[in-house]
Amino acid sequence: MLHPDGEPLIKRALCKTGMVFALASVCLLSGTTGGHAQELDGFDMPVNQVLCFGMNGITDPDALGVCDALALGQNVRARELAQQWVSEQPDSPAAQFALAEVLFRVEGNLPRALFHLNVAESLMDYPTLGRAIESGNLEWHYLTLSQLSYAHQLIGNQLESLRYLDLIGEIYGQDVESFRGWPLIKLKLYDEARASADKVLATSDNPRDRSRAWNTLCAVELADLRPNESLQACENAMGEEESIALADANADLDTVHLLNASEVSLNLLRFEEAEDYLNRASRQIDPDSVGNPWVYKLYLYMNQARYDNAREALDRMLVWRDAQSPLVGVMNRGDHFLVSAIFLLLAGYPDDAARLTQAALNQPDRTGSYTADEAQKDSVAALVNSMAHQQRYERLREQVAIQSWWRNWRLLIEAQAARFQAWRAGKLAASLFADEETLQNRMRPYAPLDVHIPEWIESELIQLMGAGVMQNLLNASAAQGVFALNEGYFFAYQTEILAIRGQTDLVQGAAEQALRLLPAQEVLLRARVSLRLANSLWQAGNYETASAHFAYAIRHDPGIFRRTGLAIPVNFVASAGASAFADELSRYLRRSPRLMAHAQGLPLELLADDSQTLCLRDHSGDALSCIQLAAAAASDEAPVIPTTALSDAQRLVQQFHEGTFSLSYDISRTQRLALLGNSVIFSNQINNPAADQDTVLQR
């Protein structure tokens, strides 16, 4: 769940200045009430002056120069001016704050910004409002305390965030109660967070305060396993935002409120309702929203095997990401890395998926605006990283099958290296998941308050953590009513546990129950259960029913065979007229780790030598995959085996594996690199070559 305020306390009422961080508790210091002077405990503030860092009354020419540069989008110049100011006046709190602000806005560089904020605070040790006024640094003191509270929230130091909120309340007499709820939630002090939200709702008429309080209750009620009450709280938060929109034509409904409502709806297994919230959230780009609705739509589409929609969502997700502010970019980059990696796994690009998940592990997360913490994101990244290396291992095994034995030594070494990397990432994931409460909450369908793991991937945890451990947790979760809304998820877990234990005689009953009860929208999870059921039925000799389930699995999730390492039984149907090409093709196909020769298997036929088309069909004759040999095309990346070194039969088998056991989406190397987020500057220059170089945001 997300925190709706992607800004610090100083954006509180928000006076529309076009700046990310604008001072105002009811526009406390920013003069938005016509020509009346604002007052702070009897201290008259000047009016009708230019806003700088969201405040009236700032007259320092250095500060105004930085503000003018920011307002014009000349970000490089703003940083140069701020750095020069600090160099010339290192003891100026205004200079230190200005540089911190530029670092926040232009680079999203929290550590450096926090350093300069700490310096600014050390230069302004004012215990009372009178001392702050007397110093002449009133504005800079308030701004610094507010920004420090926000910065500590983002980096996960919630106690410090609360301490600075208390300082603002004590020195400036400002009501900061509505900002206390989120740090309390991050500290898992849910009773205190509820009490804080109730206090705000009982005492405040400010719609933004009330919206923030309802969002706090939205998270708290979900943590207390009361999703219906949680959804109502989310709706109330949006209601408060709508009242603001009615009063201010420039105000929009908060994107994060819609995303939180969608999360709660998923927890209630209301899939259409969840998608409706996401559709509403994605209608207009919100650069300051920590949540990107296309991330969640991409997850939803993948779960439901709506692959064309998912491919479009990937593109739209990048458009939204490239439009968001740099500070937001460092907060939600892990979301983009993980969902992109998972889609690339399905599309057959495990190398790129491994790079994305490794980037998610290497770069620190700023999870202050998420209920999930950094360890949770790392655990999911490690899990998907392990899956990516395992899938790469399986692809290399397929390559080994079409090579001459004497050439396989290099591929075998690469395969074992990939297997070792999968094992190592899996161990890391297991160590990060090694918490009973965390694992038990993961079993809850669409577990709230945690990092999202698709339900069809959560089964991978059983292999990592051990079937015995997960069986005990599964039983405990069921006893607590975790699967009360739909027991199909319980039987899906049970199916996987029994399959890993090798209890194939018991798999059938659990799998059939899962398929009977699971929501129709859980297409990929149902495909995994179907594959386990098919394997069990095949071993029991029920070939006809097993073949139908194998066909279902490959139709809806072709990559499931690589992820599980299982083979599909096939019957090699001879083409009309034997030939050397057909014999060579059959030899390579029989070596494949994805195929298992059996007279009762699914028909696999070479249509004719001249067409060089290989077709896999179900028993009714419908095509599951038909691959015609394509000419060796220039590739934008080095292949595992140079295509020039392969015969036609080898290339057809290679293309059959790629076309049958992954999605048929050709994603260019340029876009796959763009998923890492390193193309922002280049895309800006390409799309607008005449743009002022100062307007290019550097990440």
130 domain residue, yes or no = yes
Q: Are residues 688 and 613 both part of a single domain?
A: no
Q: Distance between CA atoms of 329 and 187, rounded to whole angstroms? A: 24
Lowest pLDDT segment from 33-42, 249-258, 624-633: 33-42
Residue 681 has pLDDT above 50, yes or no: no
pLDDT for 556:
96
* Structure-token match 């190398």, residue found: 351
Question: Residue 272 pLDDT > 70, yes or no?
Answer: yes
* Residues 656, 625 contacting (CB under 8 angstroms): yes
- The H-or-E segment that residue 407 falls in is none
Strand bridging mode 568-573 / 39-40: unpaired
Do the domain assignments include residue 581? yes
Stretch 157-180: mean pLDDT, rounded? 92
Residues 672, 579: one domain? no
Q: Is 99 within the bounds of a domain?
A: yes
Residue 527 lies in a domain: no
The predicted model gives 603-609 an average pLDDT of: 83
Q: Are residues 6 and 105 in the same domain?
A: yes
Q: Could you tell me whether strands 623-628 and 613-617 are parallel, antiparallel, or unpaired per DSSP bridges?
A: antiparallel
116-130, 462-476, 530-544, 635-649, range with the lowest pLDDT: 635-649
The total number of structural domains in the chain stands at 3
Would you say residue 167 lies in a domain? yes
**Residue 699: CA count within 13 A, CB half-sphere:** 23
Shared domain check, 648 and 672? no
Q: In the structure, what pLDDT confidence band is assigned to residue 46 with cuts at 50, 70 and 90?
A: very low
Roughly what angle, to the nearest 10 degrees, separates helices 271-281 and 293-303? 150
At 15 the pLDDT is 30
**Domain match, 151 and 61 both:** yes
b/e 43-70 (16+ beta carbons within 10 angstroms → b): eebebeeebbbbbbbbebebbebbbebb
Q: What is the pLDDT of residues 363-385, one digit of tens each?
A: 766 666 677 767 778 889 999 99
101 and 47 share a domain? Answer: yes
Of 558 and 22, the structure prediction assigns the larger pLDDT to 558
Of residues 580 and 660, the one with the higher pLDDT is: 660
Q: In this predicted structure, what is the pLDDT of residue 220?
A: 86
pLDDT in tens, 246-262: 555 444 567 888 888 88
Mean pLDDT lowest for which of 339-348, 466-475, 482-491, 629-638?
Answer: 629-638
Within a domain: 59: yes
Name the residue with higher pLDDT: 290 or 28. 290
Is residue 573 located within the same domain as residue 676?
no
Task: State the number of CA atoms in the 13 A half-sphere of 52 facing the CB.
Answer: 21
State yes or no: pLDDT of 405 exceeds 90.
no
> What pLDDT, on the 0 to 100 scale, is given for residue 54?
83
Q: Residue 471's pLDDT is what? A: 93
Distances (CA, A) of 565 to 383, 388, 410, 549, 568: 17, 13, 21, 17, 10
Are 48 and 158 found together in one domain?
A: yes
Residue 571, token pair as written in the block: 């019957």
Domain residues for 575? 568-667
Q: What is the CA radius of gyration of the chain?
A: 29
* Same structural domain, 162 and 57: yes
Q: What is the mean pLDDT of residues 12-17?
A: 30
Q: What is the pLDDT of residues 58-111, one digit of tens each?
A: 889 999 999 999 988 898 999 999 999 999 999 999 999 999 999 988 888 888
Assess whether pLDDT exceeds 90 at residue 448. no
Provide the residue type at 447 as one letter. A
Residues 698 and 573 in one domain: no
Q: Tell me the residue length of the chain.
A: 699
Tell me the pairing of strands 568-573 and 602-606. parallel
**Mean pLDDT, all residues of the chain:** 83
Residue 41: pLDDT band by 50, 70, 90 thresholds? Answer: very low
698: confidence class by pLDDT, cuts 50, 70, 90: very low
